[in-house]
Chains A and B, each alone.
Chain A
Amino acid sequence: MEILEVDNLRKEFGTLVAVNDISVSVEKGQVWGLIGPNGAGKTTLLRMLATVLRPTSGSVQLLGFDLAKEYLKIRRHIGYLPDFFNLYNDLTLRECLEFFAKAYKVENKLIPKRVDEVLDYVELQSKRDDFIRHLSRGMVQRMGVGVLLVHDPDVFLLDEPASGLDPKARIQLRAVLKKLSGEGKTIIISSHILTELSGFCSHIALMNEGNIVLHGAVDEIQRRVFDTRKLRISVLDDCDKAIRLIEEFTNTKIENARDNEIIVEISADESELAALNSHLVAKGIKVYSFNEEKTDLEDLFMKISAG
């Protein structure tokens, strides 16, 4: 089910075209990583989707609502976390969540329960009566996600949520985001730190100079960008024979072989990989590990950037 439909979306700032006629559609439950260098237009795109920046032209349909006309309705269905934000320092965590719950029209009688659930979710229950000004940056960032959760939005728009966090806070935030993606929420998350997105993005859109250069499912893009796969084969002994046998196989290239571990570049589909494995075993090679090395987003990004 399509949840977001972007059609020829454009934003100009003077003579600068920050977002250049972008079209993309997102389905329910997908987690999109918006990647690209600084100044690529990620933040501008997210701000337009979040209804805080008016597009120069183009249209956006979110859950069937028109972004230009029904922005108040759209706001109830999205949770937007800006890149640089703070929350109300003069409120406690409980008060802050109650305020947002009320603003997002959560029923009065449900508010206390919802606040508790959110505080548990972002693991800040112990701080519920502390002022926000007393929280660490990592906690504020998790609380930011909590503020979005309070009205249970259909789409999360997260702009560089982990920037400026220390490794521990980053891991904690990542755990929260993984939990969200595991629950089937639709998320669009931007980052130029690719390790942040690796592992839980189902789709990516690579942006550069206001354009989406490439977009689609991560697996599909990996296949499209990398025409070869990388195998890591570990054998108990007779490594030289194994190398010979691999080289006999079509479309293979030994990249490295050391300590009975062979790294092979191969252009093949899954059945051919299985055939290679069987071939080695049939010829008496004691294969104890046969793995395809997954290319992460960083490899992908570098590969695409290199053209």
Chain B
Amino acid sequence: MILNNPLIRRYRYSLMRPRQLWIYITIYIAVIALIVFINYTAYQYQEWFGNQIRFFKSLYYQFLILQIIVLCILAMINSSSAIKDEVTGKSYDFFRMLPISAGKKAAGILIGKNLVVLLLAGVNFLLLIILGMLGRINGVLLGQYFLALISVAVLTNSVALLSSINPVSAKKKNHIVLFIVLGFIFVPFVISSIGIAIRKINIFENVTGKFYTIELPVLILISLVAIYFSCWAVKGILRRFTREDEPLFNRMGAYLFMLGFELVLFGLFYEHLKEGAQKTNYLYWLISLLPVLLVPIWSLRSFDKYLEHSGLIQSKSAGNKNLVSGFLLYSNLLPVLVLFAIWTAGSIVTALMTEQELLYNLYYIVILFSFYLFLMLLLELYVVYIPVSNKIGLLLSFITIVYLFIPLILSGVLGSKEVYLYSLLGFCARVLSSKSAPGFLTQTGILLVNVALCIIPTMLVWKRYKHILAARQKM
């Protein structure tokens, strides 16, 4: 059924030609031979491992790292280059025209583009099973490793493909953001895996974690979280293949993603929050703030969409008042407010759970909102001013950097213990630190500065909104 996918056939033709396949196989065999040779030498002459079981166990973990590299890193590079290749090869229109479903296209790329990788990974899996058995690794643990590996591989590959589906910018796209995001996911994983292999510590064997009140092996927990986010990534791929000119998230999708993120994170933090530590509460706040910052970017409606939609509401609305309210409801500012409201609700729950002083925490939330609002207004400025100047992004990025870092620098230069709090980064660091909370006056000062900073962007955004409505009437 899967091999019947025409895209897999297309990649089979181009990737599995014997004259290039033997090169991959030779490299793979050489790597395997090298690992075995080094370990065998260490075992035989240096007596590093003590006994055969530990030798095979160490080999097992090294092959596991190799499998991570093959399935997650090599495959991710392949998956992320598929659409870029179509665009730069000028065949993207043919690809888009293919009368096959978005699901088949996604599967075709994820499997087809990685045929060689999957072939090598298949061999590696067999070796892992053999080495696991020889190293007396518990069968259940072996299964957990495989499940975690496969689910993380599916997540990274689907995220890689998703981030590459942007035909407008694919020509000169680099994947810096993707690599940074994935780097955060992988680097600790790879490093800790290497650590395990080197020190021969079976860190995952008896470690469990709790999701709400359910106790699960940590590898299963990792797998479930990866599977959950993979589902979102696959949903995103299907949306990108069917609605290319739409933002990644529609409104409902953005809210559901945020809610889901809160519920998953809350489940992971639940037991720790019950212990009532202030730090855990604020850590939860800051982690759950990440999607509040990122989802508006992924659900951003463009200037063109604004014009298009204002035409629609103009044809339907009775008066100018309806027109403006209809436009504001369609604007990017609405999800910004809703997402923050969802975050606020979650944050109040955790504050209550950890028995924090509610009023004090609410004031924190208001200050965080003022930071957030300014950043989101800059984002909206980008949307509405991009037709005026395509360098607006550069200017706004500069302002963002100044906004985030200048208070930190000034704090150092002036030797002040309070100025750095005027940066979102400084404020978050202080909230998380064990230092006493900032004073009321300082907090009010931060709030007032942020409100003042929001005035000009709000006026500029409003001016452009009016311009869009006026331009629409002339079209």
Chain A residues 76-109 with CB under 8 Å of chain B are 76, 80, 82, 84-92, 95, 98-100, 102-105
Whether B6 contacts A76 by the Cβ 8 Å rule is no
Q: Mark B74-107, 1 if CB is under 8 A from A, else 0.
A: 0000000000000001110110111111000000
Say whether, besides A13-B304, A85-B90, A103 and B100 are in contact (CB < 8 Å).
Answer: yes
Interface string of A244-275 (1 = CB under 8 A from B): 00000000000000000000000000000000
B14 at the interface (CB under 8 A from A): yes
The complex places the Cα of A87 from the Cα of B307 at a distance, in Å, of 36
Residue of B nearest to A85 (CB): B90
* Shortest CB distance B26–A (Å): 21
- Which range holds the interface residue count of chain B? 20 to 34
Contacts of B471 in A (CB 8 A): 15
A280 CB–B CB distance under 8 Å: no
B475 at the interface (CB under 8 A from A): yes
Closest to A73 in B: B99
Q: Is A286 on the interface with B (CB-CB < 8 A)?
A: no
Residue of A nearest to B244 (CB): A54
B245 at the interface (CB under 8 A from A): yes
Given contacts A15-B471, A102-B6, contact A84 B99 (CB under 8 A): no
Beyond known contacts A52-B96, A80-B97, A104-B99: 19 more, CB 8 A cutoff: A12-B304, A12-B308, A12-B475, A54-B243, A72-B99, A72-B100, A75-B98, A75-B99, A84-B90, A88-B89, A91-B14, A95-B14, A98-B9, A98-B13, A99-B9, A99-B10, A102-B9, A103-B7, A147-B94
CB nearest neighbor in B for A87: B91
**Distance between Cα atoms of A259 and B93 in the complex (Å):** 56
Residues of B within 8 A of A85 (CB): 90-91, 93-94
Knowing A88-B14, A91-B13, A95-B13, the reply to whether A56 touches B89 (Cβ < 8 A) is no
Given the complex, which residues of A lie within 8 Å of B307, measured CB to CB? Answer: 12, 14-15
Q: Does A51 contact B (CB under 8 A)?
A: yes
Q: Which of B1-60 contact A (CB under 8 A)?
A: 6-7, 9-10, 13-14
15 residue pairs from A and B, CB less than 8 Å apart: A12-B475, A15-B475, A73-B99, A75-B98, A75-B99, A80-B93, A82-B94, A87-B94, A88-B14, A89-B89, A98-B9, A99-B9, A99-B13, A100-B6, A102-B9
Whether A276 sits at the interface, judged by CB under 8 Å, is no
Interface string of B235-251 (1 = CB under 8 A from A): 00000000101000000
Decide yes or no whether B445 CB sits under 8 A from chain A: no
Does B303 sit at the interface, judged by CB under 8 A?
yes
Beta-carbon contact of A105 and B99 below 8 Å: yes
B387 sits at the interface (CB 8 A): yes
Using a Cβ–Cβ cut-off of 8 Å, how many residues does chain A contribute to the interface with B? 35
- Specify which chain A residues have a CB less than 8 angstroms from the CB of B243 in the assembled complex: 54
Q: Which residue of chain A is the closest to B387 with respect to CB atoms?
A: A14
- A162 proximal to B (CB < 8 A): no
Asked whether, in the complex, the Cβ of A88 is within 8 Å of the Cβ of B91, the reply is: yes
Q: Closest A-chain residue to B101, C-beta based?
A: A72
Q: Which A-chain residue is minimally distant from B308 (CB atoms)?
A: A56
Q: Is A235 an interface residue (CB 8 A)?
A: no
- CB-CB < 8 A to B97: which residues of A? 50-52, 75, 80
Could you give, for residues 353-378 of chain B, a 1 whenever the CB lies within 8 Å of some chain A CB and a 0 otherwise? Answer: 00000000000000000000000000
**A57, B316: Cα distance in complex, Å:** 14
> Measured between C-beta atoms, what is the minimum distance from A161 to chain B in Å?
14
CB neighbors of B among A15-57 (8 A): 15, 17, 50-52, 54, 56-57
Chain B residue numbers with a CB within 8 Å of A88 are 10, 14, 89, 91
Nearest CB of A to B383, in Å: 12
Q: Say yes or no: A14 contacts B303, CB within 8 Å.
A: yes
A35 to B72, CA, bound (A): 50
Interface centre among A14, A91, A104 (most CB of B within 10 A): A14
What is the distance, in angstroms, from A53's C-beta to the closest C-beta of chain B?
8
What is the CB-to-nearest-CB distance from B244 to chain A, in angstroms, rounded to a whole number? 8
- Residues on B with C-beta less than 8 A from A56 are 308, 311
Which residue of chain A has the shortest Cβ distance to B243 in the bound complex?
A54
Chain A positions within 8 Å of B308 at CB level? 12, 56
Q: What separation, in Å, do the CA atoms of A245 and B12 have in the docked complex?
A: 77
Separation in Å of the A68 CB from the closest CB of chain B?
12
Give Cα distance in the complex from A88 to B471, angstroms: 43
A54, A89, A90, A105: most-surrounded residue (chain B CB, <10 A): A90
Residue of B nearest to A51 (CB): B97
**What B residues does A76 contact at CB under 8 A?**
99
In the assembled complex, the Cα of A99 lies from the Cα of B6 at a distance in Å of: 6
Cβ–Cβ < 8 Å partners of B14 in chain A: 88, 90-91, 95
For window 91-130 of chain A, which residues contact chain B by CB distance below 8 Å? Answer: 91-92, 95, 98-100, 102-105
Distance in angstroms between the alpha carbons of A103 and B97 in the assembled complex: 10
Bound state CA distance, A90 and B16, in angstroms?
11
Query: How far in angstroms is the closest Cβ of chain A from B178?
Result: 24
Q: CA of A54 to CA of B243 in the docked complex: distance in angstroms?
A: 9
Name A54's contact: one of B90, B93, B98, B245 (CB within 8 Å).
B245
